[in-house]
Chains A and B, each alone.
Chain A
Amino acid sequence: MAETPDRRSTARGEGAVATDTDLPPSALDEKVREAEDKKWTPGKIALWAAIALLGGVAWFMLAIIRGETVNAIWFVFASVCTYLIGYRFYSKVIERYITRPDDRRATPAEYKADGKDYVRTDRNVLFGHHFAAIAGAGPLVGPVIAAQMGYLPGTIWIIIGVVLAGAVQDYLVMFFSMRRGGRSLGQMAREELGVIGGTAALIATLLIMVIIVAILALVVVNALGESPWGVFSVGMTIPIALFMGVYLRYLRPGKIMEVSLIGFVLLMAAIIGGGIVAETPWGADIFTLDKVTIAWGLIVYGFIAAILPVWLLLAPRDYLSTFMKIGVIVMLALAIIVVRPEITVPAFSEFASRDNGPVFPGALFPFLFVTIACGALSGFHALISSGTTPKLVEKERQTRFIGYGGMLMESFVAIMALVAAISIDRGLYFAMNAPAALTGGTVETAATWVNSLGLAGVNITPDFLAQTAANVGEESIVSRTGGAPTLAVGLAHIMQQFIGGTAMMAFWYHFAIMFEALFILTAVDAGTRVARFMLQDSIGNFVPKFKEHSWRPGAWLCTAIMVAAWGAVLLMGVTDPLGGINTLFPLFGIANQLLAAIALSVCLAIVAKQGTFKYLWIVALPLAFAAVVTITASYQKIFSSTPAVGYFANNAAFSKALAEGKTEFGTAKSVAAMEAVVRNTAIQGWLSVIFVVLSIIVIATALLATVRAFRNRADGEAARGNEDPARPSRVFAPAGLIPTPAERELMAEWDKVPAELRFERAGHH
C-alpha cells in the first residue's frame, strides 16, 4: 500500500508533476486516502451489510418468489442497492487498476481554461449536466418494448448490464478523453486503431446516427399519428422555443432560469390547450394528421431546424428539454415510491421462450439485449462522454462519480420506465404494441386478437380499450406502437393515483407524450447537426472547400443528405406493411450496441497500451458480450430462415409471392404493399450487413492493437504518448458527492489560501 504512489508515478512517467509549494496539495495524500478508504468502522460495515441485505431480499422477491403479483417498490430496492454496491466496489476496482486518476494532474478544464468551452465545473452540477446530456427517450422506450418477454429478463439486463458494461464504457471513455484534452471518440479511434480502424469507426458512427435519428423520429410519428391533441401540443413547442430564443438573444440575454420557467408555463398551457383544441371540430380537423403527413412534416422541420442558427431553436429547446427531463424523472421516481403499484405481469412471459413475439420478433437471446440498449449499454453515450463533459471536469478523480454514476442514474430511469409500462394491464400492453396488421386496428378486432394469444390471466373487452382511450383523451390506443404511448399510459395510470385521479389521466398522458417528443426532437436536431459536420469533414478530405463550416452551400448540401438519409428510413418505417417499429427497432438496438462495441474496442486498445494486462478483462468482458450479442443478432437478421426474423428470408418470401402473381401475402394486402416489403427488407438487410462488417473491422483492429501492445510490453510507457502531457494542478475539489473527512480538511486548507494565489495565471494566450 505504502509504495503505491511511487510505483504509480514511475510506471506512468508522471514524475514531472511537481506541485506548487506555495499552495496546499492539489490531491489527497495517497496513504491518507487509502487508509480512509480501507477503514471499516462498525457503522460503515452495518450500512453496507444493510444495503446488501435489502438488495438481496429485493432480488429474491423479483426473481425467486414471483407470486401472483409483485410490488413495484422491489424494483426500486433491487436496482438502487445493486447500483450502490457496483459504484462503491466495482467502479473502485476500475479506478484502482485501470484509470488510476491522479489529482496532482490538472484536467483540461484547468490547463486549457478559456472561460467558455473549458471551464472547471462543480462535480454535482456537472453530474446533472452530463446526465441530462446522456438520458433521453432511449431508456424510456427500449424497456417498454422489451416488456413483451416479461419483467425479469429486462430487469436483470438493465441492472447487471449497467454495472458491468454500460457504466464501465461511459466512465472509461470519459476518463480517456479527459486525459487527451477532451478529444472525441472518432479522434481517439483514429489515434489508437490507425487509419483503417479509425475510418471504419467514423463511417459506422455516421450510419448509426442516421438509423438512431430515424427510429427516434419514428417513435414520435407513431405517438402523434391521428392524435390532434398530441400534434397541437408538440407543435406548439416550436413557437415556444422560437420565442425563448428571441427572448434570450434580444430581450434578456443570459436569463436562462427565467426563460426556462416561462417556457415551462407555456408548455403546460400548450398541453391543456391541446385538450381544448382537439375537442373543437376545427381543431380536430386541422390537427388530425396521418403518419405519412407527420413524417414529411418532421423531415421538413428537421432540415430547417438544422440550418437555423443554434440560438433560435436548438439552444432554447435544449433548456426546455433539460428542465423537463430532471423534473419528470424526479416526479416519476416520487410517484412510483408513493403509489407503489402492484405488478401482475409474469416474470417470464409466454414470448420469452419463443421467437415470434408480436412487439418485436426474435428469441430472448440476443434480441432482448439489443432491444434494451439505452439504460444498460448505450454506445451513443460514448459520443457525449468524449468531447463535451471531459472539458468541464474539475479533478481527475471525479470522473468515476460523473461517468460511472451518471450512467447508473440513466439505468434507474430505464427501470422506472419498465415499471410504468408493466403496471398497465397486460392485454392492453399487447393491444397497444402489436402492429395494426395483427390487431386489425379497431377495439373489437384488437380485443379478439389479444384474447386469442392465450396469455395467462389476459381477457380484455373492446369496452376496456375504448374506455382507456377515452380516459387519456385519444381517439384510439390500438396499435400505438413505439413504446412512447405505452409509457405515457403507464405514467398516467401511476400519476393519476398520485395527483388528480382519472380526470387528470388525459393531462398526464399528453404530458408524457410531450416530454418524450421534446427529448426526441432535440436529439433529432442535434443528431442531424453532428452528422452533417462529420459528413462535411469526411468530404472535406477530398474536396477541401467542404471543411469550411461557414460555407453555406456545403453546409446545406450535407444537411440535406443527412436529412434525406434518415427521412428515407423514417418513411420506410411509417409505410411498412409489417408494422415499422417491430422490424426497425432491432436495427436501432443493434446500431447502438455496435457503437458501444466500437467505443469499448478503443478503450481496450488504450488499456492494453498502458500495459494493464491483468485487468484487461474489465474492458474485454463487456466488449465480448456486446460483440457476441450484436454479431449474433445481425447474423440472425441477415441469415435466419424465419421470415419474421431474417430480413432476407422475408425478402425472398415476398419476392416469391410476387413472382407467383399473388396479390396479397401475409400482412401485405396489395401488390404495392408487397413490393414495399421487398424493398424495405432489402434495405434493412444490407444496412445490417454494412454495420456488422464495419464493426468487425473496428473490433479486429482493436484486437490487433491489443496483441501488438502485449508483444511490445517493454515499450508500454512510450505507447502512452497519445495522452496530453501531465501538468501540475493548482486546485482541489472532492471526488464524490459527499466530501470525506480528509477531503474536508484539505478543502479547509485551500479556503485559507488568498484568492489571488488560487487561480493559474500562467499559460494563457
Chain B
Amino acid sequence: MSSGLAAVAKGFQGFARYFGGVLGADAYAKYLEHHQAVGHSAPPLSEREFWRDRTDRQDSNPQGRCC
C-alpha cells in the first residue's frame, strides 16, 4: 500500500513541479544555478531581491498576453 501511495505522491510532486515551472515558480532556483555556473565572485541576490528585481524589470519591459 505504501509503495502505491508513494508512487501517487511522486506523481503528484512531478505534476506540481511541472505546473510550478509553467507558472515560473522555479525562476529563483534557476537564477542561483546560473549564478553558480558562471562563477560570479559577487554573492547572488537574495530571494526577496530577486523577485523584486524581476517584477520591476517587467515594468519597463512588458510582455504581451494573447487574446
Interface, chain A (partner B; CB < 8 A): 113-117, 119, 121-122, 124-125, 128-129, 132-138, 212, 216, 248-249, 253-257, 260, 309-311, 314-315, 318-319, 321-323, 326, 374, 378, 380-381, 383-384, 387-388, 519-520, 522-523, 525-527, 529-530, 533, 549-550, 592, 758-761, 764
Give chain A residues whose Cβ lies under 8 Å from the Cβ of B11.
Answer: none
Is A533 touching B62 in the complex (CB atoms < 8 A)?
A: yes
Contact with A383, one of B38, B47, B52, B64 (Cβ below 8 angstroms):
B64
Kindly state whether residue B12 has any CB partner on chain A within 8 Å: no
Nearest-neighbour CB distance to chain B for A238, whole angstroms, equals 17
**8 more CB-based (< 8 A) A-B contacts, given A128-B22, A310-B55, A326-B22:** A128-B21, A254-B27, A254-B47, A309-B56, A383-B66, A526-B62, A533-B62, A760-B37
Nearest-neighbour CB distance to chain B for A351, whole angstroms, equals 25
Q: Chain B at the A interface: mostly helix, strand, loop or mixed?
A: helix
Give chain B residues whose Cβ lies under 8 Å from the Cβ of A256.
Answer: 20, 23-25
Per-position binary interface string of chain B over residues 6-23, scored 1 when its CB falls under 8 Å from any chain A CB and 0 otherwise:
000000000010111111
* Complex Cα spacing A528 to B11, Å: 40
Give chain A residues whose Cβ lies under 8 Å from the Cβ of B22.
Answer: 125, 128-129, 132, 322, 326
**Given contact pairs A125-B18, A315-B55, A134 touches B23 in the complex (Cβ within 8 A):** no
Give chain A residues whose Cβ lies under 8 Å from the Cβ of B19.
Answer: 128, 257, 326
* Complex Cα spacing A203 to B22, Å: 32
Is B24 touching A138 in the complex (CB atoms < 8 A)?
A: no
Is B64 touching A384 in the complex (CB atoms < 8 A)?
A: yes
Nearest-neighbour CB distance to chain A for B31, whole angstroms, equals 4
Give chain B residues whose Cβ lies under 8 Å from the Cβ of A136.
Answer: 65-67
Is A253 touching B59 in the complex (CB atoms < 8 A)?
A: no
Give chain A residues whose Cβ lies under 8 Å from the Cβ of B3.
Answer: none
Q: Looking across the interface, which residue of chain B has its beta carbon closest to that of A529?
A: B62
Q: Looking across the interface, which residue of chain A has its beta carbon closest to that of B49?
A: A253
* Complex Cα spacing A394 to B62, Å: 22
Kindly state whether residue B63 has any CB partner on chain A within 8 Å: yes
**Given contact pairs A378-B67, A526-B62, A319 touches B23 in the complex (Cβ within 8 A):** yes
Is A309 touching B38 in the complex (CB atoms < 8 A)?
A: no
* Complex Cα spacing A113 to B38, Å: 10
In the complex, 25 of the A-B residue pairs with CB atoms within 8 angstroms, ordered by the A residue number, are A113-B34, A114-B34, A116-B57, A119-B31, A129-B22, A129-B24, A136-B66, A253-B47, A253-B48, A253-B51, A254-B48, A254-B51, A257-B16, A310-B58, A310-B62, A378-B67, A380-B67, A384-B64, A384-B65, A388-B63, A522-B65, A523-B65, A525-B65, A527-B65, A529-B62
**Given contact pairs A216-B67, A380-B66, A764 touches B24 in the complex (Cβ within 8 A):** no
Kindly state whether residue B4 has any CB partner on chain A within 8 Å: no
Nearest-neighbour CB distance to chain B for A143, whole angstroms, equals 13
Nearest-neighbour CB distance to chain A for B20, whole angstroms, equals 5
Q: Looking across the interface, which residue of chain B has its beta carbon closest to that of A307?
A: B59
Is A115 touching B18 in the complex (CB atoms < 8 A)?
A: no
Interface centre among A114, A135, A311 (most CB of B within 10 A): A311
**Given contact pairs A384-B66, A522-B65, A761-B39, A122 touches B23 in the complex (Cβ within 8 A):** no
Is A527 touching B47 in the complex (CB atoms < 8 A)?
A: no
Is B23 touching A323 in the complex (CB atoms < 8 A)?
A: yes
* Complex Cα spacing A170 to B58, Å: 24
Is A592 touching B21 in the complex (CB atoms < 8 A)?
A: no
Give chain B residues whose Cβ lies under 8 Å from the Cβ of A318.
Answer: 65
Q: Looking across the interface, which residue of chain A has its beta carbon closest to that of B51?
A: A253
* Complex Cα spacing A654 to B66, Å: 36
Q: Looking across the interface, which residue of chain B has its beta carbon closest to that of A121?
A: B21
Is B67 touching A248 in the complex (CB atoms < 8 A)?
A: no
* Complex Cα spacing A181 to B39, Å: 23
Nearest-neighbour CB distance to chain B for A118, whole angstroms, equals 9
Q: Looking across the interface, which residue of chain A has its beta carbon closest to that of B53?
A: A116
Is A124 touching B18 in the complex (CB atoms < 8 A)?
A: yes
* Complex Cα spacing A521 to B57, Å: 21
Is B21 touching A549 in the complex (CB atoms < 8 A)?
A: no
Contact with B52, one of A253, A527, A550 (Cβ below 8 angstroms):
A253
**Given contact pairs A133-B65, A526-B62, A116 touches B55 in the complex (Cβ within 8 A):** no
Nearest-neighbour CB distance to chain B for A110, whole angstroms, equals 11
* Complex Cα spacing A315 to B56, Å: 10
Is B21 touching A374 in the complex (CB atoms < 8 A)?
A: no
Give chain A residues whose Cβ lies under 8 Å from the Cβ of B24.
Answer: 129, 256
Nearest-neighbour CB distance to chain B for A561, whole angstroms, equals 16
Give chain B residues whose Cβ lies under 8 Å from the Cβ of A260.
Answer: 23
Give chain B residues whose Cβ lies under 8 Å from the Cβ of A759.
Answer: 34, 37-38
Give chain A residues whose Cβ lies under 8 Å from the Cβ of B65.
Answer: 133, 136, 318, 321, 384, 519, 522-523, 525-527
Give chain B residues whose Cβ lies under 8 Å from the Cβ of A549.
Answer: 60
**Given contact pairs A253-B52, A254-B50, A323-B23, A115 touches B66 in the complex (Cβ within 8 A):** no
8 shortest interchain CB distances as A-B pairs: A115-B34, A759-B37, A125-B21, A138-B67, A311-B55, A128-B22, A256-B25, A529-B62
Is A119 touching B48 in the complex (CB atoms < 8 A)?
A: no
Is B30 touching A115 in the complex (CB atoms < 8 A)?
A: yes
Give chain B residues whose Cβ lies under 8 Å from the Cβ of A387.
Answer: 63
* Complex Cα spacing A134 to B63, Å: 11
Is A322 touching B23 in the complex (CB atoms < 8 A)?
A: yes
Nearest-neighbour CB distance to chain B for A183, whole angstroms, equals 14
Q: Looking across the interface, which residue of chain B has its beta carbon closest to that of A311?
A: B55
Give chain A residues whose Cβ lies under 8 Å from the Cβ of B66.
Answer: 133-136, 138, 374, 378, 380-381, 383-384, 523
Interface centre among A122, A253, A311 (most CB of B within 10 A): A253
* Complex Cα spacing A137 to B37, Å: 40
Interface centre among B28, B40, B55 (most CB of A within 10 A): B55
Is B25 touching A309 in the complex (CB atoms < 8 A)?
A: no
Nearest-neighbour CB distance to chain A for B3, whole angstroms, equals 25
